[in-house]
Amino acid sequence: MQIGLKKKSSFASKKNASKNISDLSLLPVFQEKLNNNVKGKRLFVLHTIGSHPDACRRVLDLKNSFKSRDYYFEYVACYISSIKKADLFISKVYDVLSRHKVSTGREFSIIYVSDHGQMHSESGGRLKLHNNAISKFHYDVPLVKIDSQGEGRLFIESEKSGLNFTAGIASWLGIEAEGQLEKYDLFDGVSDQSDFGLKNRIERINSEPDPAVVVPLK
């Protein structure tokens, strides 16, 4: 919240939730802001719509989106396509920053995270994904870091609590404060020893298993 209050500038491509504006529309604005002649470190927060319902509307501008030959799996195919679009968005952000690094020498680091997971359920004769019902999977989200100085690819299976995320972002940004606790690394590969009891609360959620599904594509 405090980071947001101290922002230098902001841009909203979508002020009305009913408008279907592509996340890709953020890229030209990001490029423009990046080109501003500013000294010192900068933080850009790109808040995307991603896979939020209706996923089929989110991918209308995506080339070669996945299609299912079975109406029952039609929405899931759209959801898979929305993941493909998220990958495309991240890759384009990386390309913009890489070109900027070539021209300015500025190193960069990208963090991608989702605010919640989703679960399957049947609705209107189709299999849907949403977060309208209680499920442990709402707390299972991706967390990715891409560094301009990084080498290779490392998969980490440690469990990190969202309740500690602010401390992790502060460490990532190099923010220090008098009297703060020890630094917290989101990517050290060590599962959280303390999460204020959140994991125990999640384990007590009584929800049906939600296994992966195989979607018959066209």
Nearest CA among 133, 106, 125 for reference residue 210: 133
Residue 166 CA: distances (Å) to CA of 115, 155, 169: 13, 22, 5
Q: What pLDDT, in 10s, does the model give residues 47-100?
A: 999 888 889 999 999 999 999 999 999 999 999 999 999 999 999 999 999 999
Res. 9: pLDDT tops 80:
no
131-181 confidence digits (pLDDT tens): 777 888 888 888 999 999 988 899 999 999 988 998 899 899 888 777 666
- Whether the predicted model's global pTM rises above the 0.85 cut: yes
Report d(CA 23, CA 29) in Å as an integer: 11
